[in-house]
Amino acid sequence: MAFIIRVEQGEDQGFHLHVAFLFNGSHVRRHFRIAELIGELWGEITHGGGHWHDSGAEWMKQGGKDEGRGTGMFQRSDVNGRHAVASLMTYLVKDKGQHLRIRPAGVRAYRTGCIR
């Protein structure tokens, strides 16, 4: 599993995170259920004070399909799927946005990683 995290600081919301999780499709199924579990865990970690949003689930409720959205499983050879993920990830690395006005020592606004 890989992840991308962007920390932002908004005037109304204060500090908040934008996170993308990338899973190996040959090991993981039911990505919407996994998103729900991550959201539930976030609720536990923040003692109910944190909120989460799954943009992929919202897209599906509106009648969308996984294809072309950057969510769901796609094959490595699927050029459209790769481009959709890259397009979706541009939100996490955007220049315009809510930058950190106060940066605690040792905190990075953007980080990536893998968990084996």
Q: What is the pLDDT of residue 64?
A: 57
Can you tell me which residue has the tokens 């959205």?
Answer: 69
In tens, the pLDDT along 44-103 reads 999 998 888 877 666 566 655 555 556 677 788 888 878 888 877 887 777 665 667 677
Q: What is the pLDDT of residue 6?
A: 85
Indicate the number of domains in the chain: 1
In tens, the pLDDT along 2-58 reads 888 888 877 777 788 888 888 888 887 777 788 889 999 999 999 998 888 877 666
Q: Which secondary structure element, helix H or strand E, spans residue 96, and what is its range?
A: none
Task: Collect all residues with Cβ–Cβ distance below 8 Å to 38 and sequence separation of at least 6.
Answer: 21, 52
pTM listed for this prediction? 0.73
Closest Cα to residue 18, out of 92, 113, 85? 92
**Structural domain containing residue 8:** 2-114
